[in-house]
Structures are given as C-alpha cells and as structure tokens.
Amino acid sequence: MEYRYMPPAAEFIRQVHDGRTGKLQMLSIREHRFPFLPKVGDWNRFSENTGGTMVEKCCHFFDLMRLITQSEAVRVYCSGAMDVNHLDESYDGRRPDIIDNSYTTVDFANGVRAMLDLSMFADGAENQEEITAVGDKARLDCLIPEGSLVYSPRVGFRQPKAVERSHVAVDETVLKAGSHHGSTYYEHQKFFAAVCGEGPVEVTAQDGLMAVAIGTAAEISAREKRVVEMSELGF
C-alpha cells in the first residue's frame, strides 16, 4: 500500500487526523495518469487475471480512503467503462475488458463520503494524484508530484481567502531509488523495521482484504450499473 508512504500524502494524512480540517465530511482522490503499461503476456488487459482495474489499480486508493476516514465502507457506487485505451488490441481473438475511466463513490460507516476520479488517458496532467479532504472547518489539498499541500480555512461568504501553501520535499536520492514519489523506499524501510521487530506492522492482511473488497464492489457496480452494499460481499 505504497500510496500511504508518499511523503506529501503522509503529511496530508497526519494533518487530517490531527484535526486541521475539523470534522472530516468529504474525501476525494483524483488520479489522472497514463494507460496500463505492457506487461509479460499483457496479463493486465483482462479482469479475469486482475480482478479488474478497480481492484488491481484502485485498491491503493480505497486503502487510503479507509486510512484517512478511519472507518469501513458500507456501500459503493461506480460508473466506469473502457472507452479509450486498448480498443485496437486483440489477444487470441479476445478484446481487453478493463475499465480505463470511472467515478466511484464510497459511503463510510462514520458518515464520511469519499469519491475516486480515475482517468487512465490523462497522462498530460500536471499532477497525477490530487487528494482533497473537506471538514467543517477547512479544506486541505495534496498535489503529487508537485508535493504541495494547500490549506483553505472557511472564512465566510465574500470574505478574503486565507489560503496557505506549503511544500513537502522528498530527497532526490530517494526519488531515484524507486517509484511512487519516493514511497517505495519508505515502505521498505518500515517493512524491514517490522520484520526485525523494531517497528509495528503498519499494513495488515485485513487492510489488504478490505481494499480489495471495496474494489470488487466497485467492479460489480460498474458492470451491473447499481449500488453495491458491502454486506453483499460479507463485510
């Protein structure tokens, strides 16, 4: 779950949990990125191999939602399809069936509402990930790879804005050592500490299971065009 360990995202999560936005009510995550890359045998072109885009790609973001909201999903609605990428590809006469764009809304047990905006044909976007938390006191944005946090407290109608911008730097050596805006290094550091008994296990099998379960609900929702209750999946 490497997205937890991107330094700007980690600082964003800390500030939300510390109450900087007040009581969290809304969470949105946008990933506008490049298409799926070629892999061995292009195994990632078929949902039967991956569980579908909402599982294989987006489980990371559903994990972030659970971590940030500190709650469990109760229902999921996803509108998505394969509209642009891989349309001209064929494998033994079969056409790929993976979603390349979607909107997913997740209702959490504590009343927080979350949304994922995914486009896999927006590789020209300035920032690949944009995460926004809105509470009853303020809004907080995280922009990656720009590395900026933007804090926007409520000021009242037609009052001067009081926006604060800050930058979370990442060591250049760490950026070059792995992918995902330096998180590859930091997650391995945490994993090594846990294995050596020098730190806690920060991501559990239960975390992975729940992230995949939300992704599975999103896949069902997109294909059957309906709201999916997590209780349908046994959660």
Q: From residue 231, how far is each of 75, 192, 215, 219 by CA, in Å? A: 8, 35, 14, 15
Residue 84: pLDDT above 80?
yes
pLDDT at 180: 84
Q: Which two tokens stand for residue 182?
A: 């330096």
With bands split at pLDDT 50, 70 and 90, how would you rate the model's confidence at 220?
very high
pLDDT at 105: 98
Residue 101: pLDDT above 80?
yes
Please give the domain boundaries of the chain with CATH numbers for all domains: 2-170+204-226 (3.30.360.10)
pLDDT at 218: 98
Q: Which residue has the tokens 């999903």?
A: 73
**Mean pLDDT, the chain, as a whole number?**
96
Kindly report the pTM of this predicted structure: 0.94
pLDDT at 179: 74
With bands split at pLDDT 50, 70 and 90, how would you rate the model's confidence at 215?
very high
| Contact yes or no for 109/92 (Cβ under 8 A) | no
Segment 101-119 mean pLDDT: 98
Residue 135: pLDDT above 80?
yes
Q: What is the pLDDT of residues 175-214, one digit of tens each?
A: 887 778 889 899 999 999 999 999 999 999 999 999 999 9
Edge-to-edge strand ranges of the sheet holding 24-32 = 164-167, 148-153, 138-144, 129-135, 24-32, 113-119, 101-108, 73-81, 228-229
Q: What is the pLDDT of residues 13-72, one digit of tens each?
A: 999 999 999 999 999 999 999 999 999 989 999 999 999 999 999 999 999 999 999 999
- Least confidently predicted of 50-64, 101-115, 117-131, 176-190: 176-190
| Contact yes or no for 9/64 (Cβ under 8 A) | yes
